[in-house]
A and B are shown apart, each in its own frame.
Chain A
Amino acid sequence: MNDYEAILKAYELAGGDPSSLQFPQVGSLVVEEDKILSFNEVEGLVMEPERTQRGVKAKIVVKESCKIKNPVHLCFGVIPEEGTQEIIMEIILEDNSYVKLLAHCTFPNAVRVKHTMQAEIKIGKGAHLSYEEAHYHGPSGGIEVIPRAKVSISSGGRLTNSFSLIKGRVGVLDLDYDVQVEREGIAELIAKIYGRGEDRIKIVEKVSLNGENARSLIKSRIVVIDRAQSKVIGETYGNAPGARGHVDCMEIVEGKAKAQAIPKVSVAHSQAKVTHEAAIGRIDKRQLETLMARGLEESEAVDTVIKGILR
Chain B
Amino acid sequence: MGNLLRVENLSLIRDEKRILKRINLKIDKGEIHALLGINGVGKSSLAYCLMGLSGYKPSEGRIYFEGKDITNLPLSKRAKLGITLAWQEPTRFEGLTIREYLSLSRKDEDDSLDEILDKVALKSRLYLSREMNQDLSGGERKRIELASVYAMRPKLAILDEPDSGIDMLSLERIMDFILSLREKGASVLLITHREEVVEISDKASLMCEGEIVKSGDPRMVRDYFKTRCQRTCFEKDRIK
Contact = CB atoms under 8 A, between A and B. Distances in A.
Interface string B69-109: 00000011001100011010011011110000000110000
Contacts of B63: none
B87 A290 contact: yes
Contact-residue size bin, chain B (C-beta under 8 Å from the other chain): 20 to 34
A295 interface: yes
B75 A294 contact: no
B61 to A, nearest CB: 21
B44 interface: no
Contact of A295 (B54, B95, B105): B105
B76 A295 contact: yes
B53 A289 contact: yes
Nearest to B93: A308
A292 B85 CA distance: 10
B215 interface: no
Interface string B120-154: 00000000000000000000000000001000100
B96 A289 contact: no
A305 interface: yes
Contacts of B117: none
Contacts of A305: 93, 96
Nearest to A301: B76
Interface stretch (A23-31, A37-45, A198-206, A280-288): A280-288
B75 A289 contact: yes
B51 interface: yes
B91 A286 contact: yes
A286 B76 CA distance: 13
A285 B54 contact: yes
A291 B104 contact: yes
Contacts of A221: 94
A284 B105 CA distance: 19
Interface in B27-84: 51, 53-54, 75-76, 79-80, 84
Nearest to A289: B53
A306 to B, nearest CB: 9
A49 B193 CA distance: 71
A287 B93 CA distance: 7
Interface residues of A, number: 24
Contacts of A289: 51, 53-54, 75
B185 to A, nearest CB: 16
Nearest to A285: B54
A296 B104 contact: yes
Which of the listed residues A286, A292, A305, A311 has the most CB atoms from chain B within 10 Å of its own CB? A292
A250 B92 CA distance: 14
B104 A304 contact: yes
Contacts of A295: 76, 79-80, 84, 105, 152
Nearest to B152: A294
A298 B75 CA distance: 9
Contacts of A308: 93-96
B76 A298 contact: yes
Contacts of B84: 293-295
Contacts of A296: 76, 79, 104
A308 B90 CA distance: 17
B104 A293 contact: no
B143 to A, nearest CB: 15
B91 A284 contact: yes
A311 B129 CA distance: 14
Contacts of B54: 285, 289
Contact of B51 (A287, A293, A297, A298): A293
B81 to A, nearest CB: 9
Contacts of A290: 87, 90-91
Nearest to B82: A295
A285 B87 CA distance: 13
A113 to B, nearest CB: 30
A309 interface: yes
Nearest to A290: B91
Nearest to A291: B104
A102 interface: no
Contacts of B95: 307-311
A291 B87 CA distance: 12
Nearest to B79: A295
Nearest to A305: B93
Contacts of B148: 294
Interface of A: 221, 250, 284-287, 289-298, 301, 304-305, 307-311
12 contacts: A221-B94, A289-B54, A290-B91, A291-B104, A293-B79, A294-B148, A294-B152, A301-B76, A305-B96, A308-B93, A310-B95, A311-B95
Given A290-B87, A293-B84, 8 more contacts: A291-B104, A293-B79, A295-B76, A296-B79, A296-B104, A297-B76, A308-B95, A310-B95
